[in-house]
């Protein structure tokens, strides 16, 4: 963890570790929030945009939502939209910033590094902090509520596992099925049910 708790403003809540809640990194989010800002995010697994190559877990090659390869950012942005909360800012590598711009037109992006094979090429930490600080101030100005992701009416989740035995075991989740030996499919019109399924299907 890179946060120094004593430097957080009073009133802030700090969540440590994973609880297994379907909202994952967005745990505790509800409609009372004005906006979300996502800092330190990275491109999805197998995108080639970041050597930090995973989506939630290293057990999968890809997670697709309605046929589209999806990142942790997209899951989080949809979770925010589920509660009617806009995403005002995304910061991370160039790949995730590009994906965020497609999903949430008008979102402020702060790319601070790019992947090039195994390494990353990053800007100076002080410069990164300054860019994020300025973007956060700008991101919460008038009009940020328009940056809510558009939530689909129905969700087809496909999880492509790296090992087919993992897919076989996950296929026994209620409502899930094997699309092929390495891929588990789950469909629902309730996004929270999609998140609940993903939380259990990805559990090792």
The total number of structural domains that make up the chain = 1
Considering the entire predicted model, what is its pTM? 0.90
Rounded to whole angstroms, the Cα distance separating 125 from 131 reads: 10
- What is the spatial distance between Cα 147 and Cα 150, in angstroms, rounded to a whole number? 9
Q: Is residue 137 part of a domain?
A: yes
- pLDDT > 80? residue 145: no
Collect all residues with Cβ–Cβ distance below 8 Å to 25 and sequence separation of at least 6: 72, 76
**Is residue 107 included in any domain, yes or no?**
yes
Q: Name the token pair of 123.
A: 């800007």
pLDDT, tens only, 67-82: 999 999 999 999 999 9
CATH number for the domain including 92?
Answer: 3.40.50.10780
pLDDT more than 90, % of the chain: 75
Collect all residues with Cβ–Cβ distance below 8 Å to 77 and sequence separation of at least 6. 38, 87, 100, 103, 104, 149
Residue 104 domain flag: yes
Q: Considering only CA atoms, which of 76, 79, 44 is closest in space to residue 60?
A: 44
Q: How many CB atoms lie within 10 A of CB 164?
A: 13
């Amino acid at each position: 963890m890179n946060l120094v708790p004593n430097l957080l403003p009073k009133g802030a809540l700090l969540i440590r570790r994973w609880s297994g809640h379907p909202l994952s990194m967005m745990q505790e989010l509800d409609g009372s929030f004005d906006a979300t800002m996502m800092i330190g995010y990275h491109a999805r697994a197998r995108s080639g945009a970041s050597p930090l190559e995973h989506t939630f877990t290293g057990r999968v090659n890809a997670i697709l939502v309605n046929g589209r390869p999806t990142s942790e950012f997209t899951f989080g942005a949809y979770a925010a939209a589920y509660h009617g909360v806009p995403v005002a800012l995304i910061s991370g590598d160039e790949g995730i910033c590009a994906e965020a711009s497609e999903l949430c037109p008008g979102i402020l992006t702060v790319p601070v590094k790019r992947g090039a094979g195994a390494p990353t090429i990053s800007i100076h930490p002080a410069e990164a902090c300054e860019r994020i600080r300025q973007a956060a101030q700008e991101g919460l100005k008038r009009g940020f509520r328009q940056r809510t992701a558009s939530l689909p009416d129905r969700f087809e989740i496909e999880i492509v596992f790296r090992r087919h035995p993992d897919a076989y075991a996950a296929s026994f989740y209620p409502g899930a099925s094997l699309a092929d030996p390495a891929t588990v499919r789950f469909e629902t019109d309730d996004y929270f049910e999609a998140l609940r399924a993903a939380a259990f299907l990805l559990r090792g």
